Amino acid sequence: MAEISLAVIVPVYNEEQVLHDHLQRFIDLEADELIFVDGGSKDQTKAFIEQIGLRCLSSKPGRANQMNAGAVVVKSDILVFIHIDTLVSKSDLALVKALFDQSVIVGGRFDVSLSGSHPAFRVIEFMMNQRSRFTKVSTGDQVQFVRRTVFESIGGFAKMPLLEDVEFSKRLKKIGRIACLPEKVMTSSRRWESHGIIRTVWLMWKIRLLYWLGVSPEKLVVLYRDAR
The CATH number of the domain holding residue 120 is 3.90.550.10
Residue 228 inside a domain? The answer is no
Residue 16 inside a domain? The answer is yes
Residue 52 inside a domain? The answer is yes
Q: Go through 67-105 and write b for each residue having 16 or more CB atoms within 10 A of its CB, e for each that does not.
A: bbbbbeebebbbbbbbbbbbbbeeebbebbbebbeeeeb
Taking a C-beta distance cutoff of 8 angstroms, is the pair 86, 185 a contact? Answer: yes
Residue 75 inside a domain? The answer is yes
Number of domains in the chain: 1
The pLDDT profile of the chain, 228 residues, written as one tens digit per residue, is: 568 999 999 999 999 888 888 899 999 999 999 999 999 999 999 999 999 999 999 999 999 999 999 999 999 999 999 999 899 999 999 999 999 876 789 999 999 999 988 998 899 899 999 999 999 999 999 999 999 999 999 999 999 888 999 999 999 999 999 999 999 999 988 777 777 777 877 777 788 778 777 778 777 777 767 655
Taking a C-beta distance cutoff of 8 angstroms, is the pair 172, 101 a contact? Answer: no
For 204, other C-beta atoms within 10 Å of its C-beta total 17
DSSP H helical ranges for the chain: 16-28, 45-51, 63-73, 90-102, 119-135, 148-153, 164-173, 190-195, 197-212, 217-227
Residue 195 inside a domain? The answer is no
Residue 36 inside a domain? The answer is yes
Identify the three-state secondary structure at position 170. helix
Q: How far is CA 20 from CA 16, 23, 37, in A?
A: 8, 6, 17
Residue 225 inside a domain? The answer is no
Taking a C-beta distance cutoff of 8 angstroms, is the pair 168, 136 a contact? Answer: no
Residue 196 inside a domain? The answer is no
Range of the domain at 36: 6-190
